[in-house]
Amino acid sequence: MMELKYFIGIDVSKAKLDAAWLKDVQAYRYRSKVLGNNPKGCLQLFDWIRKNITTDLAEIGSAPDEVVLSIRQIQTAISDSMAELQRDIDEHIDRHPDLKHDIELLKTIPGVGDAVAPRMALLYRSRPFRSAAQMAAFPGLVPKERTSGQYRGKVRLSKQGNSKFRALLYMPAVVAKGCNPDIRACCERLPARGKSKMQAIGAVMRRLVHICFGVLKHQTVYQARTVNF
C-alpha cells in the first residue's frame, strides 16, 4: 500500500469550490481555499493553484509516481479548462461587434495589449462612468492623503477598488513608460514633484485608465498629445 505523503483535492458543491493542498501529512502542513462555484471562482482557483501548488512542487523532491501522475493530471485538466474558457471569451467578443471594435481601439494605445484591452472594454461597458476619474476610481487608483489633525502624511493610492484589476494594470504601466509618449512625459514630470517610484507607477496606471476612457468615449484610435521632435 502506498504511503500517503501529499494530497491535492478539489470538492465541488452547488455553491462553492473547496480546494486543499496537503503538503505534509506527518506535520499536517496544508493550505486551503474556498471560492464561489462560478466563472469568477474558477479563475480565482486557477490563480491560487499557480501561486501555491505549482510553486510548492519544487519542494516535493522524490514524490511517489502516483502522486506526480495525479498532479500532472490536475495541471492538464486546469490548462484544458483555461483554454476552453478563453475560446468562449473570444467567441463572445466575435458575436458583439461593438465590444470587438472597442478592444481594437484600445490596442492602438501603446502598453495596452491582449490581457488588458478586453477587461478594460468590459469595465467601460458594464458601468455608467461619467468621467475618466470615475473609471480610475473603480480599481482604487485615486490618490489619498493620510492626515490626522495637523499631521499630513504621504499621498498613496486609496486601494479601495478592485485589487485584481489594479494588479492587472501594473505590468502594462511599466511597459507604457517606455513606449507611450504621453506616459513617458508624465513620468518625466513626477520626480520634480517629489514623487517616489511607487507613487509614479500609481500615477502611470491612473493615466493609462484615463487614456483608455478617452479612446472609448470618443471612439477614436489613440493619438498622442505629446509631440515628439
**What is 86-107 written as a DSSP string?**
HHHHHHHHHT-HHHHHHHHHHT
pLDDT of residue 107: 94
pLDDT of residue 209: 92
3-state helix, strand, coil in the chain (%, to 5): 55, 15, 30
pLDDT of residue 167: 85
Distance of alpha carbon 18 from alpha carbon 9, whole angstroms: 8
Tell me which of 182 and 195 has the higher pLDDT: 182
10 pLDDT tier (thresholds 50, 70, 90) = low
Main-chain dihedrals φ then ψ at residue 35, nearest 5 degrees: -135, 165
pLDDT of residue 2: 40
Question: What are the pLDDT digits (tens) for 152-183?
Answer: 556 566 567 778 888 888 898 888 888 888 88
pLDDT of residue 14: 64
Strands 16-24 and 29-36, by their bridges, are: antiparallel
From 20-24, 114-118, 154-158, 183-187, the region with the lowest mean pLDDT: 154-158
pLDDT of residue 29: 67
Q: Taking the domains of the chain in order of start, what are their residue ranges? A: 7-93, 97-218
pLDDT of residue 11: 65
pLDDT of residue 228: 40
pLDDT of residue 227: 41
pLDDT of residue 214: 93
C-beta of residue 149 within 8 angstroms of C-beta of residue 188:
no
Going by C-alpha positions, the residue among 44, 52, 48 that lies closest to residue 6 is 52
Is the pLDDT at 5 greater than 60? The verdict is no
Question: What are the pLDDT digits (tens) for 55-112?
Answer: 555 555 555 666 667 767 777 777 787 788 778 878 888 888 898 999 999 999 999 9
